[in-house]
Amino acid sequence: MTGLLWAELRRFGVRPAIRWIAAGMLAHVALAVALTAFEAGASTLAGMLEQGHISFYALASVFLAYVAGVLLVTGDAAAGGTRAVLTVEPRRSRVYWSKVAAAALAVLPGVAAAYTLLALGMYGVHARSGMLGAPAPDLALALTWSGVRVLALAACAAAGGAALGVLVRRWWVAVPLVVVWLLIEETALSTASTGGEWLLAANADWWVRGTRTVLFGDGLLAVPLVHGALLLLGVTVLLTVLGWVVFRRRDVR
């Protein structure tokens, strides 16, 4: 299993599309910090955390992690890599789970770098303008824990992307499928009378945000955090198990 995992990670690292995804993460972060610098006096950093602006920027990297997970599987299958691996390792379960694990692990360095630059950039911009809005240690702790949650969410997104790539086989199906789903959720969220407790995008935002306890002392948002974590993890597990079942039974072309 370890040998398969390292082989998948190496294949992941040499794909040109992955480099473009990493560049996209960093470019998005640079743009977000630059835009914030032009209007640093509009909101404090604590306010941006509370209102979800930081989580909005960070979730772009999570989406790109999902795309990377899709490409790991679909690109390998299109190039005949999956069939070649199965001739050496015929146990399909080992091959499949090595791909899912590789997707979850491979995106972490890029997402961590993007979030670190985002957090440092946002902090630097607001500190220079005197617009932190909360004690520096509290902000640093809130940003750190938000980053940990972003990494966990990115790993789930990449694993789910790999599983969906197995199910639909084509990246140009898997990626637009999620984009359309998110657009439908956004429409439902804007028109629904309830808070969207079962919408993936809303729960992802709640999961990344989760900063009230540190910054404002209003009590940890335990229900949204736990609810969001269970829902997002449940969707990931469902996708990966379904992908495993299909991968074991489907002919590999």
Q: Specify the pLDDT at position 213.
A: 41
d(CA 3, CA 137): 42
- Both structure tokens of 87: 């001739």
CB 247 within 8 A of CB 92: yes
What is the arithmetic mean of pLDDT over 25-29?
92
Q: Is 119 helix (H, G, I), strand (E, B) or coil?
A: helix
Q: If you average pLDDT over every residue of the chain, what do you get? A: 83
170/186: higher pLDDT: 170
Say whether pLDDT at 239 is over 90: yes
What is the arithmetic mean of pLDDT over 20-48?
86
CB 111 within 8 A of CB 26: no
The whole domain housing 169 covers 2-249
Say whether pLDDT at 57 is over 80: yes
For the chain, what is the domain count? Answer: 1
Q: Specify the pLDDT at position 218.
A: 46
The torsion angles phi and psi of 242, rounded to 5 degrees, stand at: -65, -40
Say whether pLDDT at 227 is over 50: yes
| Apex 125 CA angle, 133 and 35, nearest 5 | 110
CB 162 within 8 A of CB 95: no
Q: Specify the pLDDT at position 1.
A: 60
pLDDT, tens digit, for every residue of 95-146?
899 999 999 999 999 999 999 999 999 999 989 888 888 888 889 988 999 9
What is the arithmetic mean of pLDDT over 207-221?
55
Least confident among 22-31, 71-80, 89-98, 211-220:
211-220
Percentage helix, strand, coil for the chain under 3-state DSSP, each rounded to 5: 85, 0, 15
Sign of torsion over alpha carbons 137, 142, 146, 149 = positive
Q: Specify the pLDDT at position 76.
A: 66
Q: Specify the pLDDT at position 202.
A: 83
Q: Specify the pLDDT at position 184.
A: 85
Say whether pLDDT at 214 is over 50: no
* Percentage of residues of the chain with pLDDT beyond 70: 82
What is the arithmetic mean of pLDDT over 154-182?
92
